[in-house]
Amino acid sequence: MRDAAIGFGLGFFVALQLGPMSLFLIRSTLRGGVRIGLAVGAGIAVIDAVYAAAGAAGAAPFLAIGPLRLALGLAGAVVLLWLGARTVITAFRVRAGLEVAADVAGPWPAFGAALAGTASNPATIASWAAIFAAASAGTGAGAVPLVVGVGAGSATWVSILAVGVAVVRRAVGPQVERLADMVAGVALVGFAGALGWRTAEAR
């Protein structure tokens, strides 16, 4: 129980950091409501848990293989660029009265978009490997309860965020929704550029 609680804290506070996928969750909840936001949050939490498990299992050294790291990094940049560009385009289409947002059309498309976006940075495995090494050395915690706790902690925070934004959604207008689209889209495109640049530099 203690080990799972440690993992919960790790997952919660890592997810608490504002990043492109958090902005995407906020934007998606504003656009589609709480069910869409929770679906995006579930996608984020699933990948957090999977990458935490991969880090705990010792997958990080595989990212040191040059061609594999390059392929994964470029693939991740492309996914984020696609997601960000589509989000920015949605903002302009809404402004023109042509609202078409495939990723908020239902929970499953939203879940899939979140899976793809969160998984787009496989270097996160190395970060989780370092976190698990520190947690295990400092507390003697086991890998399995830590991973379970990470997934639960991440899911808890993203659910809180989705529900909170859904409550605020009732008070905001379409202009705020368009702004959320633009901010999230630009952030995703910028993150894609940073990931691509880091990948190219590391060759």
* Per-residue model confidence (pLDDT) at position 100: 44
Instruction: Inform me whether the pLDDT recorded for 114 exceeds 80.
Output: yes
136/109 Cα distance (integer angstroms):
37
Q: Which residue has the higher pLDDT, 68 or 43?
A: 43
Encoded tokens for 2: 């203690």
Please state whether the predicted TM-score (pTM) of the whole model is above 0.85.
no
- Match 């633009």 to its residue by tokens: 182
In this predicted model, what pLDDT tens digit does every residue of 189-203 receive, in sequence order? 888 888 788 777 766
Contact 121, 114 (CB under 8 A): no
In this predicted model, what pLDDT tens digit does every residue of 138-150 receive, in sequence order? 566 677 888 899 9
The average pLDDT across 24-37 equals: 91
- Phi, psi angles (nearest 5°) of residue 71: -65, -45
* Per-residue model confidence (pLDDT) at position 155: 96
DSSP 58: T
The average pLDDT across 11-36 equals: 89
- C-alpha distances in Å from residue 102, one per residue of 86, 105, 110, 158: 9, 5, 8, 21
Residues composing the chain: 203
In this predicted model, what pLDDT tens digit does every residue of 129-182 receive, in sequence order? 777 777 766 566 677 888 899 999 999 999 999 999 999 887 776 677 778 788
* Per-residue model confidence (pLDDT) at position 73: 76
Mean pLDDT of the chain: 82
Instruction: Inform me whether the pLDDT recorded for 30 exceeds 50.
Output: yes
Categorize the per-residue pLDDT at 102 as very low, low, confident or very high, splitting at 50, 70 and 90. low
* Per-residue model confidence (pLDDT) at position 162: 96
Instruction: Inform me whether the pLDDT recorded for 96 exceeds 50.
Output: no
In this predicted model, what pLDDT tens digit does every residue of 57-92 receive, in sequence order? 877 676 667 776 778 777 888 888 888 888 888 777
* Per-residue model confidence (pLDDT) at position 104: 66
